[in-house]
């Protein structure tokens, strides 16, 4: 698989790799990466790289071929795609001369980060899980993902995922604001329907990754918004508590929904800077 990577900053040492959420691309991290750079510079930390690859099919990322995607289940889910994507991300840092990275995943990006931990724990210098979960999809959620993928492909539309840009009951004030609605509407409309469908089929075929949580030994951060409807503190705090092999710092952000890195980039950057400090202290 080929990854289209945005480099927010070059540097030496251990890179921070930011993995975005569905159904958008690396732009989710633009503000947070800028905040992290400001904070790292102010703290006098050694200059470290900050990258944000687009997932396959997201943004300018090429949509994988059938051969690259691998096995397809009878219902249309991609059962090998997450693993193959995880390998592509690890290959990305290795080709650049790095052996490890600090992996930061938000929502669907968290699935990838946990799969990197499963397949290549030696490549994990630190990890952050933001607004995500370790569970596989329920039967109903899996069926809904595949239904959305079918519509995106057959009707060549991203309409089934436009609700991510629309205010919902209980949302944060940021997510209800016109700026959020305009920005996310534009980002989602810029996605290719086939790329949205590929990511839905990949996520539908992912395994349960809860067994990886106690195996994490690198410094970790767990971050969530108090208003997140799918990865609320009641979901995320047990994830941190299950990381019994490391010290996981849990951060709950008030008035914040599912897209914490966009809604409160400063607070997410604070948590990531703390993670970078802890990783560098162990290096």
Q: Are 35 and 269 in contact (CB under 8 A)?
A: yes
Q: Residue 283 has what pLDDT?
A: 75
169-211 pLDDT, tens per residue?
A: 889 999 999 999 999 999 999 999 999 999 999 999 999 999 9
3-state secondary structure of 153: helix
DSSP one-letter code for 64: P
- Phi, psi (degrees; rounded to nearest 5) at 58: -100, 145
For the record, the structure tokens of 61 come out as: 């990322």
pTM across the whole model: 0.96
Q: Given the DSSP bridges, would you call strands 50-54 and 4-9 parallel, antiparallel or unpaired?
A: antiparallel
Q: Residue 87 has what pLDDT?
A: 98
Among 187, 3, 13, 33, residue whose Cα is nearest residue 112: 3
CA separation for the pair 17, 85 (Å, rounded): 14
For the record, the structure tokens of 221 come out as: 């951060």
Q: Residue 267 has what pLDDT?
A: 98
Q: How many Cα atoms are found within 13 Å in the side-chain-facing hemisphere of 149?
A: 22
Q: Given the DSSP bridges, would you call strands 101-106 and 4-9 parallel, antiparallel or unpaired?
A: unpaired
Q: Residue 117 has what pLDDT?
A: 99
Q: Residue 94 has what pLDDT?
A: 98
Q: List the pLDDT tens digit at each of the 283 positions of the chain.
A: 999 999 999 998 999 999 999 999 999 999 999 999 999 999 999 999 999 999 999 998 999 999 999 999 999 999 999 999 999 999 999 999 999 999 999 999 999 999 999 999 999 999 999 999 999 999 999 999 999 999 999 999 999 999 999 988 889 999 999 999 999 999 999 999 999 999 999 999 999 999 999 999 999 999 999 999 999 999 999 999 999 999 999 999 999 999 999 999 999 999 999 999 999 998 7
CA separation for the pair 186, 181 (Å, rounded): 9
Structural domains present in the chain: 4-136+208-282 (3.40.50.1820)
């Amino acid at each position: 698989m080929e990854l289209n990577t945005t480099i927010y900053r070059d540097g030496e040492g251990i890179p921070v790799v930011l993995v975005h959420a569905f159904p958008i691309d690396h732009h989710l991290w633009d503000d947070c990466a800028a905040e992290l750079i400001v904070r790292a510079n102010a703290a006098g930390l050694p200059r470290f790289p900050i990258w944000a690859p687009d997932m396959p099919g997201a943004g300018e990322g090429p949509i994988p071929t059938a051969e690259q995607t691998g096995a397809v289940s009878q219902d249309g889910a991609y059962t090998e795609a997450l693993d193959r994507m995880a390998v592509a991300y690890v290959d990305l840092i290795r080709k650049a001369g790095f052996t490890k990275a600090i992996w930061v995943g938000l929502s669907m990006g968290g699935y990838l980060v946990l799969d990197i931990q499963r397949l290549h724990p030696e490549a994990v210098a630190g990890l952050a899980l933001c607004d995500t979960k370790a569970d596989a999809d329920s039967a109903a959620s899996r069926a809904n993902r595949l239904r959305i993928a079918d519509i995106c492909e057959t009707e060549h539309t991203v309409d089934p995922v436009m609700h991510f840009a629309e205010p919902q009951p209980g949302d944060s004030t940021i997510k209800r604001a016109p700026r959020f609605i305009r920005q996310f509407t534009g980002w989602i409309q810029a996605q290719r329907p086939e790329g949205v469908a590929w990511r839905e089929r990949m996520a539908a075929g992912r395994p349960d990754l809860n067994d990886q949580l106690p195996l994490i030994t690198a410094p970790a951060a767990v971050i969530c918004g108090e208003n997140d409807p799918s990865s609320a503190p009641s979901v995320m705090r047990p994830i941190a508590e299950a990381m019994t092999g490391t010290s996981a710092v849990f951060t709950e952000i008030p008035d914040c929904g599912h897209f914490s890195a966009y809604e409160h980039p400063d607070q997410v950057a604070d948590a990531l800077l703390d993670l970078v400090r802890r990783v560098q202290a162990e290096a």
